[in-house]
Protein backbone atom coordinates (compact mmCIF):
# COMPACT_ATOMS: atom_id res chain seq x y z
CA UNK A 1 0.00 0.00 0.00
CA UNK A 2 1.34 3.41 -0.88
CA UNK A 3 0.52 6.39 1.27
CA UNK A 4 -0.90 9.25 -0.75
CA UNK A 5 1.33 12.32 -0.76
CA UNK A 6 -1.54 14.68 -0.14
CA UNK A 7 -2.41 13.01 3.12
CA UNK A 8 -1.57 14.96 6.25
CA UNK A 9 1.55 12.87 6.65
CA UNK A 10 2.77 13.68 3.14
CA UNK A 11 2.26 17.35 3.88
CA UNK A 12 4.11 16.99 7.15
CA UNK A 13 7.17 15.60 5.32
CA UNK A 14 7.01 18.48 2.86
CA UNK A 15 6.66 20.90 5.79
CA UNK A 16 9.84 19.41 7.17
CA UNK A 17 11.61 19.83 3.81
CA UNK A 18 10.47 23.47 3.70
CA UNK A 19 11.67 24.06 7.25
CA UNK A 20 15.08 22.65 6.27
CA UNK A 21 15.21 24.88 3.21
CA UNK A 22 14.28 27.91 5.32
CA UNK A 23 17.35 27.34 7.49
CA UNK A 24 19.64 27.95 4.53
CA UNK A 25 18.76 31.64 4.31
CA UNK A 26 21.83 33.65 3.27
CA UNK A 27 23.74 30.39 2.73
CA UNK A 28 22.34 29.21 -0.62
CA UNK A 29 22.38 32.34 -2.80
CA UNK A 30 23.03 32.64 -5.73
CA UNK A 31 21.40 29.22 -5.82
CA UNK A 32 17.88 28.56 -4.52
CA UNK A 33 17.05 27.44 -0.97
CA UNK A 34 16.08 23.77 -1.22
CA UNK A 35 15.25 21.03 1.26
CA UNK A 36 14.84 17.28 0.71
CA UNK A 37 13.45 14.56 2.98
CA UNK A 38 13.73 10.87 2.09
CA UNK A 39 11.02 8.67 3.56
CA UNK A 40 10.76 4.88 3.69
CA UNK A 41 8.23 2.84 5.64
CA UNK A 42 6.79 6.08 7.01
CA UNK A 43 10.14 7.06 8.57
CA UNK A 44 12.59 9.76 7.59
CA UNK A 45 15.78 8.01 6.46
CA UNK A 46 17.74 11.01 5.20
CA UNK A 47 17.53 14.78 5.02
CA UNK A 48 19.43 17.42 3.15
CA UNK A 49 19.68 21.06 2.16
CA UNK A 50 21.78 22.84 -0.40
CA UNK A 51 24.51 25.13 0.86
CA UNK A 52 26.24 26.96 -1.96
CA UNK A 53 29.63 26.52 -0.32
CA UNK A 54 29.22 22.71 -0.26
CA UNK A 55 28.10 22.35 -3.90
CA UNK A 56 25.98 19.21 -3.30
CA UNK A 57 22.29 19.72 -3.94
CA UNK A 58 19.73 18.88 -1.25
CA UNK A 59 18.81 15.51 -2.79
CA UNK A 60 22.45 14.37 -2.86
CA UNK A 61 22.98 15.41 0.77
CA UNK A 62 19.87 13.42 1.78
CA UNK A 63 20.92 10.34 -0.23
CA UNK A 64 24.41 10.46 1.30
CA UNK A 65 22.96 10.75 4.81
CA UNK A 66 20.73 7.70 4.32
CA UNK A 67 23.61 5.67 2.90
CA UNK A 68 25.96 6.73 5.68
CA UNK A 69 23.38 5.32 8.08
CA UNK A 70 23.55 2.07 6.12
CA UNK A 71 19.97 2.39 4.87
CA UNK A 72 18.95 1.08 1.45
CA UNK A 73 17.08 3.91 -0.29
CA UNK A 74 15.44 1.64 -2.89
CA UNK A 75 11.70 2.27 -2.98
CA UNK A 76 11.88 5.44 -0.88
CA UNK A 77 9.87 8.62 -1.45
CA UNK A 78 11.75 11.89 -1.89
CA UNK A 79 10.00 15.06 -0.70
CA UNK A 80 11.73 17.98 -2.40
CA UNK A 81 10.84 21.66 -2.17
CA UNK A 82 12.11 22.32 -5.71
CA UNK A 83 12.06 20.13 -8.81
CA UNK A 84 15.22 17.97 -8.93
CA UNK A 85 17.59 19.40 -11.52
CA UNK A 86 18.21 17.82 -14.91
CA UNK A 87 21.29 19.74 -16.01
CA UNK A 88 25.02 19.74 -15.40
CA UNK A 89 26.02 22.87 -13.48
CA UNK A 90 28.53 22.84 -10.64
CA UNK A 91 27.11 19.36 -9.94
CA UNK A 92 25.50 16.57 -11.92
CA UNK A 93 21.72 16.21 -12.33
CA UNK A 94 19.81 15.27 -9.15
CA UNK A 95 17.10 13.62 -11.25
CA UNK A 96 19.73 11.12 -12.49
CA UNK A 97 20.97 10.51 -8.94
CA UNK A 98 17.41 9.79 -7.73
CA UNK A 99 16.82 7.41 -10.65
CA UNK A 100 20.11 5.63 -9.94
CA UNK A 101 19.13 5.38 -6.26
CA UNK A 102 15.91 3.60 -7.41
CA UNK A 103 13.54 5.66 -5.32
CA UNK A 104 9.87 4.88 -6.04
CA UNK A 105 8.24 8.30 -5.74
CA UNK A 106 9.04 11.96 -5.72
CA UNK A 107 6.82 14.62 -4.19
CA UNK A 108 7.82 18.03 -5.51
CA UNK A 109 6.49 21.34 -4.18
CA UNK A 110 7.20 23.44 -7.26
CA UNK A 111 8.88 23.36 -10.65
CA UNK A 112 12.34 24.87 -11.00
CA UNK A 113 12.00 28.30 -12.69
CA UNK A 114 15.50 27.87 -14.12
CA UNK A 115 14.94 27.61 -17.92
CA UNK A 116 17.71 24.99 -17.99
CA UNK A 117 15.51 22.74 -15.84
CA UNK A 118 11.82 23.85 -15.75
CA UNK A 119 9.93 20.62 -16.10
CA UNK A 120 12.76 18.53 -17.49
CA UNK A 121 13.78 17.16 -14.09
CA UNK A 122 10.25 15.91 -13.49
CA UNK A 123 10.08 14.52 -17.04
CA UNK A 124 13.32 12.61 -16.45
CA UNK A 125 11.97 11.05 -13.25
CA UNK A 126 8.69 10.05 -14.87
CA UNK A 127 10.46 8.60 -17.92
CA UNK A 128 12.32 6.30 -15.54
CA UNK A 129 9.14 5.06 -13.92
CA UNK A 130 9.28 7.23 -10.78
CA UNK A 131 5.85 8.42 -9.74
CA UNK A 132 5.90 12.20 -9.38
CA UNK A 133 3.38 14.37 -7.54
CA UNK A 134 3.75 18.08 -8.14
CA UNK A 135 2.36 21.06 -6.22
CA UNK A 136 2.21 20.00 -2.56
CA UNK A 137 2.67 23.17 -0.45
CA UNK A 138 3.66 25.02 -3.59
CA UNK A 139 3.16 28.55 -2.27
CA UNK A 140 5.31 28.33 0.88
CA UNK A 141 8.01 26.57 -1.14
CA UNK A 142 7.91 29.33 -3.77
CA UNK A 143 7.96 32.08 -1.14
CA UNK A 144 11.46 30.97 -0.14
CA UNK A 145 12.84 31.57 -3.60
CA UNK A 146 11.18 34.71 -4.98
CA UNK A 147 14.55 36.32 -5.64
CA UNK A 148 15.99 33.23 -7.30
CA UNK A 149 12.93 32.81 -9.53
CA UNK A 150 13.01 36.45 -10.58
CA UNK A 151 16.75 36.51 -11.19
CA UNK A 152 17.03 33.30 -13.16
CA UNK A 153 14.34 34.46 -15.59
CA UNK A 154 15.09 38.20 -15.85
CA UNK A 155 18.83 38.38 -15.09
CA UNK A 156 18.12 41.22 -12.70
CA UNK A 157 17.89 41.35 -8.89
CA UNK A 158 14.49 41.10 -7.23
CA UNK A 159 13.95 44.57 -5.76
CA UNK A 160 12.11 45.00 -2.45
CA UNK A 161 11.30 48.55 -1.47
CA UNK A 162 11.14 48.93 2.30
CA UNK A 163 10.07 52.11 4.00
CA UNK A 164 8.89 53.36 7.38
CA UNK A 165 6.14 55.96 7.25
CA UNK A 166 4.13 58.18 9.54
CA UNK A 167 0.43 57.46 9.93
CA UNK A 168 -0.24 60.34 7.54
CA UNK A 169 1.99 58.68 4.93
CA UNK A 170 5.23 60.66 5.13
CA UNK A 171 8.77 59.37 5.13
CA UNK A 172 10.55 61.88 7.32
CA UNK A 173 10.27 65.41 8.64
CA UNK A 174 11.24 68.22 6.25
CA UNK A 175 15.07 68.56 6.15
CA UNK A 176 15.07 72.07 7.66
CA UNK A 177 13.35 70.79 10.82
CA UNK A 178 15.85 67.96 11.38
CA UNK A 179 19.18 67.45 13.08
CA UNK A 180 21.63 66.38 10.36
CA UNK A 181 23.48 63.04 10.53
CA UNK A 182 20.80 61.56 12.69
CA UNK A 183 18.13 59.15 11.65
CA UNK A 184 14.61 60.08 12.56
CA UNK A 185 12.95 56.99 14.00
CA UNK A 186 9.30 56.45 13.22
CA UNK A 187 8.88 52.77 14.00
CA UNK A 188 9.60 50.89 17.22
CA UNK A 189 12.10 48.16 18.15
CA UNK A 190 9.97 45.23 16.90
CA UNK A 191 9.61 46.73 13.42
CA UNK A 192 13.28 47.56 13.37
CA UNK A 193 14.15 43.97 14.25
CA UNK A 194 12.01 42.92 11.29
CA UNK A 195 14.04 45.26 9.09
CA UNK A 196 17.17 43.49 10.30
CA UNK A 197 15.62 40.21 9.23
CA UNK A 198 14.85 41.72 5.82
CA UNK A 199 18.50 42.75 5.49
CA UNK A 200 19.58 39.27 6.47
CA UNK A 201 17.55 37.64 3.70
CA UNK A 202 18.94 40.08 1.09
CA UNK A 203 22.13 39.85 -0.93
CA UNK A 204 22.48 43.64 -1.16
CA UNK A 205 21.01 46.84 0.23
CA UNK A 206 20.88 50.11 -1.68
CA UNK A 207 20.45 53.74 -0.74
CA UNK A 208 21.15 57.17 -2.20
CA UNK A 209 23.65 59.81 -1.22
CA UNK A 210 20.79 61.96 0.16
CA UNK A 211 20.06 59.35 2.83
CA UNK A 212 23.79 58.92 3.57
CA UNK A 213 24.11 62.66 4.23
CA UNK A 214 20.84 62.99 6.14
CA UNK A 215 20.96 59.87 8.35
CA UNK A 216 24.53 58.55 8.27
CA UNK A 217 23.18 54.96 8.23
CA UNK A 218 25.33 51.84 8.68
CA UNK A 219 23.07 49.59 6.54
CA UNK A 220 24.53 46.48 8.17
CA UNK A 221 22.97 43.09 8.88
CA UNK A 222 23.11 42.97 12.67
CA UNK A 223 21.18 39.71 13.13
CA UNK A 224 24.39 37.83 14.00
CA UNK A 225 23.14 34.99 11.84
CA UNK A 226 25.64 33.32 9.49
CA UNK A 227 25.83 34.43 5.89
CA UNK A 228 27.97 33.02 3.10
CA UNK A 229 28.89 36.44 1.76
CA UNK A 230 28.58 39.82 3.42
CA UNK A 231 25.51 41.97 2.80
CA UNK A 232 26.71 44.19 -0.07
CA UNK A 233 26.00 47.82 0.82
CA UNK A 234 25.46 49.95 -2.26
CA UNK A 235 25.32 53.75 -2.51
CA UNK A 236 24.25 55.75 -5.54
CA UNK A 237 26.46 58.80 -5.38
CA UNK A 238 26.73 60.67 -8.69
CA UNK A 239 29.17 63.35 -7.45
CA UNK A 240 30.98 61.26 -4.82
CA UNK A 241 29.82 63.22 -1.80
CA UNK A 242 30.01 60.22 0.58
CA UNK A 243 31.92 61.58 3.61
CA UNK A 244 35.10 59.73 4.54
CA UNK A 245 33.97 59.85 8.17
CA UNK A 246 30.52 58.37 7.46
CA UNK A 247 29.53 55.14 9.20
CA UNK A 248 29.42 53.38 5.84
CA UNK A 249 33.04 54.21 5.09
CA UNK A 250 34.24 53.61 8.63
CA UNK A 251 32.75 50.10 8.64
CA UNK A 252 33.72 49.20 5.04
CA UNK A 253 35.05 45.67 4.84
CA UNK A 254 34.89 44.42 1.24
CA UNK A 255 31.14 45.06 1.39
CA UNK A 256 30.75 48.66 0.26
CA UNK A 257 30.11 49.57 -3.36
CA UNK A 258 29.65 53.14 -4.55
CA UNK A 259 28.15 53.67 -7.98
CA UNK A 260 29.07 57.01 -9.44
CA UNK A 261 29.09 58.90 -12.74
CA UNK A 262 31.82 58.34 -15.31
CA UNK A 263 32.76 62.01 -14.80
CA UNK A 264 33.49 61.64 -11.06
CA UNK A 265 36.77 63.17 -9.88
CA UNK A 266 39.67 60.74 -9.81
CA UNK A 267 40.98 62.18 -6.52
CA UNK A 268 37.66 61.45 -4.82
CA UNK A 269 37.59 57.96 -6.30
CA UNK A 270 41.10 57.36 -5.03
CA UNK A 271 40.28 58.62 -1.51
CA UNK A 272 37.18 56.44 -1.24
CA UNK A 273 39.01 53.39 -2.55
CA UNK A 274 41.79 53.94 -0.07
CA UNK A 275 39.16 54.09 2.67
CA UNK A 276 37.91 50.64 1.66
CA UNK A 277 35.05 51.32 -0.76
CA UNK A 278 34.76 49.92 -4.23
CA UNK A 279 33.82 52.61 -6.77
CA UNK A 280 32.25 51.79 -10.11
CA UNK A 281 31.11 54.13 -12.89
CA UNK A 282 27.55 53.84 -14.21
CA UNK A 283 26.19 55.62 -17.32
CA UNK A 284 23.93 58.58 -16.66
CA UNK A 285 20.47 59.34 -17.94
CA UNK A 286 18.94 62.81 -17.37
CA UNK A 287 21.72 63.64 -14.86
CA UNK A 288 20.88 60.52 -12.78
CA UNK A 289 22.67 57.21 -12.68
CA UNK A 290 20.78 54.83 -14.94
CA UNK A 291 18.97 52.44 -12.62
CA UNK A 292 18.74 49.63 -15.14
CA UNK A 293 22.55 49.81 -15.46
CA UNK A 294 22.84 49.69 -11.66
CA UNK A 295 20.72 46.53 -11.54
CA UNK A 296 22.70 45.00 -14.40
CA UNK A 297 25.98 45.67 -12.59
CA UNK A 298 24.56 44.04 -9.44
CA UNK A 299 23.34 41.04 -11.42
CA UNK A 300 26.88 40.58 -12.73
CA UNK A 301 27.94 40.29 -9.10
CA UNK A 302 25.37 37.54 -8.55
CA UNK A 303 23.12 39.75 -6.43
CA UNK A 304 19.71 38.03 -6.54
CA UNK A 305 17.88 40.16 -3.98
CA UNK A 306 18.17 43.89 -3.43
CA UNK A 307 16.62 45.75 -0.52
CA UNK A 308 15.91 49.37 -1.34
CA UNK A 309 16.08 51.47 1.84
CA UNK A 310 16.12 54.91 0.37
CA UNK A 311 14.58 58.37 0.43
CA UNK A 312 11.78 59.97 -1.59
CA UNK A 313 13.97 60.59 -4.59
CA UNK A 314 15.19 57.04 -5.23
CA UNK A 315 11.91 55.47 -4.14
CA UNK A 316 10.21 57.61 -6.78
CA UNK A 317 12.78 56.84 -9.47
CA UNK A 318 12.63 53.06 -8.92
CA UNK A 319 8.83 53.08 -8.84
CA UNK A 320 8.39 55.32 -11.89
CA UNK A 321 10.74 53.08 -13.87
CA UNK A 322 8.75 50.04 -12.76
CA UNK A 323 11.82 48.45 -11.14
CA UNK A 324 10.27 47.57 -7.78
CA UNK A 325 9.03 43.99 -7.44
CA UNK A 326 7.79 43.95 -3.85
CA UNK A 327 7.01 46.67 -1.32
CA UNK A 328 7.08 46.54 2.46
CA UNK A 329 5.57 49.55 4.18
CA UNK A 330 5.74 50.07 7.92
CA UNK A 331 3.35 52.63 9.37
CA UNK A 332 3.96 54.10 12.78
CA UNK A 333 1.33 55.91 14.85
CA UNK A 334 3.33 59.16 14.68
CA UNK A 335 1.97 62.02 12.60
CA UNK A 336 4.44 64.18 10.69
CA UNK A 337 2.28 66.82 9.00
CA UNK A 338 1.97 67.99 5.44
CA UNK A 339 5.32 69.80 5.25
CA UNK A 340 7.15 66.47 5.49
CA UNK A 341 8.95 64.40 2.84
CA UNK A 342 6.75 62.21 0.64
CA UNK A 343 7.15 58.46 0.60
CA UNK A 344 8.17 58.61 -3.07
CA UNK A 345 8.65 61.58 -5.37
CA UNK A 346 5.79 61.80 -7.84
CA UNK A 347 3.51 59.50 -5.87
CA UNK A 348 0.93 61.44 -3.93
CA UNK A 349 0.05 58.92 -1.26
CA UNK A 350 1.36 55.53 -0.13
CA UNK A 351 -2.24 54.54 0.59
CA UNK A 352 -3.08 55.01 -3.09
CA UNK A 353 0.12 53.23 -4.08
CA UNK A 354 -0.94 50.25 -1.96
CA UNK A 355 -3.90 49.76 -4.26
CA UNK A 356 -1.51 48.66 -7.00
CA UNK A 357 -0.02 45.86 -4.88
CA UNK A 358 -0.97 42.20 -5.35
CA UNK A 359 -1.12 39.47 -2.72
CA UNK A 360 -1.03 42.00 0.09
CA UNK A 361 -0.54 40.98 3.70
CA UNK A 362 -1.09 42.99 6.84
CA UNK A 363 0.76 42.30 10.05
CA UNK A 364 1.80 44.38 13.02
CA UNK A 365 4.91 44.89 15.08
CA UNK A 366 3.75 46.28 18.40
CA UNK A 367 2.01 49.53 17.49
CA UNK A 368 3.48 49.64 13.96
CA UNK A 369 1.49 48.24 11.04
CA UNK A 370 3.21 46.45 8.18
CA UNK A 371 1.76 46.11 4.68
CA UNK A 372 3.52 43.95 2.12
CA UNK A 373 2.62 43.30 -1.49
CA UNK A 374 3.98 42.48 -4.89
CA UNK A 375 4.17 44.66 -7.99
CA UNK A 376 5.49 41.77 -10.08
CA UNK A 377 5.04 38.11 -9.37
CA UNK A 378 8.52 36.58 -9.50
CA UNK A 379 7.26 33.11 -10.39
CA UNK A 380 6.22 32.16 -13.94
C1 LIG B 1 18.21 20.72 -7.14
N2 LIG B 1 18.48 20.65 -5.81
O3 LIG B 1 19.29 21.51 -3.95
C4 LIG B 1 19.26 22.88 -5.83
C5 LIG B 1 18.90 22.96 -7.21
O6 LIG B 1 25.40 25.02 -10.53
P7 LIG B 1 24.62 23.99 -9.78
O8 LIG B 1 24.95 22.59 -10.21
O9 LIG B 1 24.66 24.14 -8.28
O10 LIG B 1 23.08 24.16 -10.22
C11 LIG B 1 22.35 25.27 -9.79
C12 LIG B 1 20.95 25.14 -10.32
O13 LIG B 1 20.36 23.93 -9.84
C14 LIG B 1 20.04 26.26 -9.84
O15 LIG B 1 20.04 27.34 -10.76
C16 LIG B 1 18.68 25.57 -9.79
O17 LIG B 1 18.10 25.51 -11.06
C18 LIG B 1 19.06 24.17 -9.35
N19 LIG B 1 19.09 24.10 -7.87
N20 LIG B 1 18.35 21.87 -7.80
O21 LIG B 1 17.83 19.73 -7.75
C22 LIG B 1 19.00 21.66 -5.13
N23 LIG B 1 19.84 23.90 -5.18
ZN1 LIG C 1 20.16 19.24 -8.35
Task: Kindly indicate the confidence band of residue 175, based on its pLDDT and cuts at 50, 70 and 90.
Answer: confident
**Which ligand lies nearest to the CA atom of residue 53 in the structure?**
1
Mutation pick for ligand 1 pocket among 23, 31, 92 (CB with most ligand atoms within 8 Å): 31
The larger pLDDT score, comparing residue 174 to residue 192, is at 192
- From the CA of 93, how far away is ligand 1's center (Å)? 8
Mean pLDDT of 1-29: 83
Instruction: Give the model's pLDDT for residue 202.
Output: 98
Task: Kindly indicate the confidence band of residue 305, based on its pLDDT and cuts at 50, 70 and 90.
Answer: very high
pLDDT digits (tens, 9 = 90+) for 248-302: 999 999 999 999 999 999 999 999 999 999 999 999 999 999 999 999 999 999 9
pLDDT digits (tens, 9 = 90+) for 308-330: 999 999 999 999 999 999 999 99
State the closest ligand 1 atom to the C-alpha of 121, by its place in the atom list counted from 1.
21
- pTM (predicted TM-score): 0.96
Instruction: Give the model's pLDDT for residue 43.
Output: 96
List active site positions.
59
> Ligand 1 atom 22: the closest Cα is on which residue?
57
pLDDT digits (tens, 9 = 90+) for 201-237: 999 999 999 999 999 999 999 999 999 999 999 999 9
Task: Kindly indicate the confidence band of residue 173, based on its pLDDT and cuts at 50, 70 and 90.
Answer: confident
The larger pLDDT score, comparing residue 49 to residue 348, is at 49
Write down the ipTM of this complex: 0.94
Mean pLDDT of 369-376: 98
Mean of the per-residue pLDDT values for the chain?
95
Mean pLDDT of 98-104: 98
Q: Indicate whether 3 pLDDT > 50.
A: no
State the closest ligand 1 atom to the C-alpha of 112, by its place in the atom list counted from 1.
17
Q: Indicate whether 176 pLDDT > 90.
A: no
Q: 370, 352, 353: which is closest to 361 by C-alpha?
A: 370
Beta carbons of 375 and 360 less than 8 angstroms apart: no
Beta carbons of 330 and 192 less than 8 angstroms apart: no
Mapping DSSP onto H, E and C, the string for the chain reads CCCCCCCHHHHHHHHHHHHHHHCCCCCCCCCCCCEEEEEECCEEEEEEECCHHHCCCHHHHHHHHHHHCCCCCCCCEEEECCCCCCCCCCCCCHHHHHHHCCCCEEEECCCCCCCCCCCHHHHHHHHCCCEEEECCCHHHHHHCCHHHHHHHHHCCCEEEEEEEECCCCEEECCHHHCCCCCCCCCCCHHHHHHHHHHHHCCCEEEEEHHHHHHHCCCCCCCCCCCCCCCCEEEEECCCCCCCCCCHHHHCCCCCEEEEEECCCCHHHHHHHHHCCCEEEEECEECCEECHHHHHHHHHHCCCCEEEECCCHHHHHHHHHCCCCCEEEEEECCCCCCCCCEECECCECCHHHHHCCCEEEEEEEECCEEEEEEECCCCCC
Q: Indicate whether 8 pLDDT > 90.
A: no
Task: Kindly indicate the confidence band of residue 7, based on its pLDDT and cuts at 50, 70 and 90.
Answer: low
Q: Indicate whether 6 pLDDT > 80.
A: no
Instruction: Give the model's pLDDT for residue 109.
Output: 98
Q: Indicate whether 178 pLDDT > 90.
A: no
Instruction: Give the model's pLDDT for residue 2.
Output: 42
Beta carbons of 16 and 49 less than 8 angstroms apart: no
> Ligand 1 atom 9: the closest Cα is on which residue?
90
Residue 85 marked ligand-binding: yes
Mutation pick for ligand 1 pocket among 17, 23, 32 (CB with most ligand atoms within 8 Å): 32
The larger pLDDT score, comparing residue 362 to residue 339, is at 362
Q: Indicate whether 4 pLDDT > 70.
A: no
**Which ligand lies nearest to the CA atom of residue 80 in the structure?**
1
The residues whose Cβ lies within 5 A of ligand 2, an ion, are 57, 85, 94
Amino acid sequence: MTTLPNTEKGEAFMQRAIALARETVALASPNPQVGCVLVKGGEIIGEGTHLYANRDHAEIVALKQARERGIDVTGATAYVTLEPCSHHGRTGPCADALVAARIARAVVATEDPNPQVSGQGIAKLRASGIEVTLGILQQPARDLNDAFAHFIQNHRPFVTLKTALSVDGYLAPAPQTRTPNQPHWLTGPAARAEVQRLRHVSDAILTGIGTVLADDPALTDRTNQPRRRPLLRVILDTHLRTPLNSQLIRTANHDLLIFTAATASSEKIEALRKAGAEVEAIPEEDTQLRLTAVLKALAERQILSLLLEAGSHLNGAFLRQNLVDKAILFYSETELGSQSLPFAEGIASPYLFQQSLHRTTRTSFDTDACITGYLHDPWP
